[in-house]
Every structure is written in structure tokens, then in C-alpha cells.
Amino acid sequence: MEFRLRILRFKDKLSFWKIRFVWCLLLCCQVIPVLADQPRQVEIPVASLIEHGIFEVGANFLFGQDNEFSHQETILDLDFGLFNWIEIGINHQKTLRVGDESALLGHVKLQLLKERDLSPQLAIGVKDLSNVKIHRSMFFSFNKKLNLPKIHIVGVHFGIGNDRYGTENRTGFFGGLEKEFSPRIAKGDLSFILQFDRRGVSGSLLHTADTGLQTTVGAELLDNGDQMRFLAKIAFTNKSLVKRIEETQRLAKQAARLVSQEKSGKN
């Protein structure tokens, strides 16, 4: 009885500790150094989070044309999930066209509501965390999967935010669409992603192999269509590996249970 009371008290205090934990993370991330103000790609913060114990690491390469077509920017990023309700990420940006200047930025995202039936998935967070105030962009976003005629399942993303998505004193809007396919010609999943924010609009194709290798190609239009850039990204996630390990453990436990039942039946 006393043990059950302790469990109930722990559950009551859990949300309080969640809030304290998130604020500690925000304070820690605010000391991440930044060396220069960097051009930013069109990339909206979706409400879906990376699951606990899962990480994604990758490299983005942006190409554009000023006087000639050239490699303009490289972004290295690392994202990982904790407790199935928080996501933390760090990215290193290097801009070749402005003297090889670089910046180290971080983001934190907190899940408020999971998608169930008619309710969408909701999340809040802070992007571009650094010791320079102008970089910090707070946002609120939601995701919802819709079952549309002919198109079938399509993901809808929408949200509001400041600074990166609006201005320092005004809130801006961002959004996007995502459609997943399972092509026969290539093993794995293929997704078409369309995004927009105050800087412009982008479209890309993401292929995720069964091994966890992710490749992305796309393009973005900036400054009302005056500038066009191309994106290439290669990344890796351990999501499929973790699922295989969990499935192996489940089968091993099931086999051990059957052996135990068979031995007890003989006795």
C-alpha cells in the first residue's frame, strides 16, 4: 500500500520535474557559442519528435548561383530524442562564400500533445540557441495526418514563430506538406516534402533505406523567387537498428517462454 502511494506521488510530481528539466536544458543551450550570423535554409520545425534513444546525424550541402554555380554552405547536424517527449539538436554551419565563417547552434523541442483520432500533435521549442539573442527563434507547431481522396495519407504541418519565422517583434507563419511512398524500384521509404516560411519555399525528396541511411535532394526559392539554391543531404538514423534489436529480444523472450512451458508440461 505504501509503495502504491509513493508511485502516485511520483506521478503527480513528474510534470513539475519535466518543466524543471526543460528549463535547465534551455539555460545550458544558451551558452553555445556562435561565431557569425549565417544564411538560413527553409526548414520548418515539425511537431513530431524523435523517439527515446534514437539519433539522427547528417551533413547538408547547399549550392547556389551568384556569379557562377558553386557550393555555398555546409551544415552538420545531430538530433536525438529523450523520454519520447523531448528532442535536442546541435548543428554546425559553415558558409564558404563569406570567408569560411561558421556557427554552432542548438535547438530544444518539447512535445505537448500526441496525435490521437481528431487531435493533432503539438510541440513548442526554441531554435538557433546561442549566446546571441538575435538567433533565438521560439515556435509552436502542430502535425496532423489526413486521409484524403486519391492522395490517401498526407501529413500537414503548420506553426507560428518569431525571428527566423517572422521578425523580432512580429510573429510569422510556416507550414508544409509531406507525402510518403513505398516504391517498388527502391527498398525503403520515399517522402516528398514541401515547406514554406518567411524566407521562401522548398521542395525535396527524402529516401530512407532499411539500413537507416537517408539521402535527400531538393531545391529552395528565396527572396520572392530572386534566389534559388539546391540541397543535397546524407544522414544516418539508428531507428531501424533499434527496432531490429527490440524485435530480436522479443522473439528471444517468446522462445524462452515456449521452452519453459514445454518443460513444465513434461513435468
Residue 97 CB neighbour total at 10 angstroms: 13
Place 170 in a pLDDT band, splitting at 50, 70 and 90.
Answer: confident
- Asked whether the predicted pLDDT for residue 36 surpasses 60, the reply is no
121, pLDDT greater than 90: yes
Cβ contact 1:7 at 8 Å = no
| 9 SS3 class | helix
The tens digit of pLDDT for each residue in 194-213 reads: 999 988 999 999 999 989 99
CA distance 98 to 185: 41
- The answer to whether 216 touches 208, Cβ cutoff 8 Å, is no
- Measured CA to CA, the distance from residue 124 to residue 132 in angstroms comes to 21
| % residues pLDDT > 90 (the chain) | 44
Joined grid coordinates for residue 192: 516528398
On the CB side of 5, CA atoms within 13 Å amount to 2
Bridge partners (DSSP) of residue 95 are: 73, 101
Separation between Cα atoms, residue 146 and residue 177, nearest integer Å: 10
pLDDT band at residue 40 under the 50/70/90 scheme: low
Checking if the pLDDT of 35 tops 50, the result is no
**Is the model more confident about 189 or about 9?**
189
As a dihedral over the C-alpha atoms of residue 245, residue 251, residue 254, residue 258, rounded to 10 degrees, the angle is -140
Whole-number pLDDT of residue 92: 87
CB 160 within 8 A of CB 137: no
CA distance 171 to 139: 9
Residue 131 confidence class, pLDDT cut points 50, 70, 90: low
pLDDT value of position 168: 61
pLDDT at residue 179 in the model: 92
Cell, residue 146 = 489526413
> Residues 57-104: pLDDT tens digits?
999 999 987 667 778 889 999 999 999 999 999 988 887 655 566 778
**DSSP alpha helix (H) spans, the chain:** 2-29, 239-266
What pLDDT does 230 receive? 93
Per CATH, is 31-255 categorized as 2.40.160.40?
A: yes
Whether 16 shows a pLDDT value over 70: the answer reads no
Which pTM does this prediction carry? 0.77
Most confident of 16-20, 22-26, 40-44, 167-171: 40-44
Contact 46, 157 (CB under 8 A): yes
pLDDT winner (highest mean) among 29-43, 169-183, 201-215? 201-215
Spatial neighbors of 193 by CB under 8 A, at least 6 apart, are 176, 177, 178, 203, 204, 205, 206, 218
Contact between 90 and 77 (Cβ < 8 Å): yes
